[in-house]
């Protein structure tokens, strides 16, 4: 909305800087939310299913190591 103001020219450098910062923040938050959704999905698979842990023993062990490091 600020960019549509007729008085924006005086603040253009500052407004552009904030616009870039907000775009980057939005991308980071969006990526982080996607990672959290994926992690929650994988965690439920590897912690709640003994059968899957047996079938994917290497992946389950790798997930557990990463999960411990993350925590």
What six digits make up the tokens of 71?
């925590």
For position 29, what pLDDT does the model report?
Answer: 98
Instruction: Look up the pTM and report it.
Output: 0.68
Across the chain, which has 71 residues, the per-10-residue mean pLDDT values are 82 91 98 93 87 90 88 79
Q: Residue 5 in 3-state DSSP? A: coil
Q: How far is CA 56 from CA 7, 36, 62, in A?
A: 61, 22, 10
CA dist., res. 36 & res. 53, Å (int) = 21
Instruction: Report the b/e string of 2-12 with b at 16+ CB within 10 A.
Output: eeeeeeeeeee
For position 20, what pLDDT does the model report?
Answer: 95
């Amino acid at each position: 909305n600020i960019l549509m103001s007729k008085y924006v020219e005086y603040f253009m450098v500052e407004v552009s800087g904030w616009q870039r910062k907000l775009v980057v923040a939005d991308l980071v938050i969006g990526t982080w939310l996607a990672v959290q959704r994926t992690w929650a999905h994988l965690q439920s698979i590897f912690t709640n299913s003994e059968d899957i842990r047996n079938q994917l023993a290497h992946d389950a062990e790798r997930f557990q190591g990463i999960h411990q490091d993350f925590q």
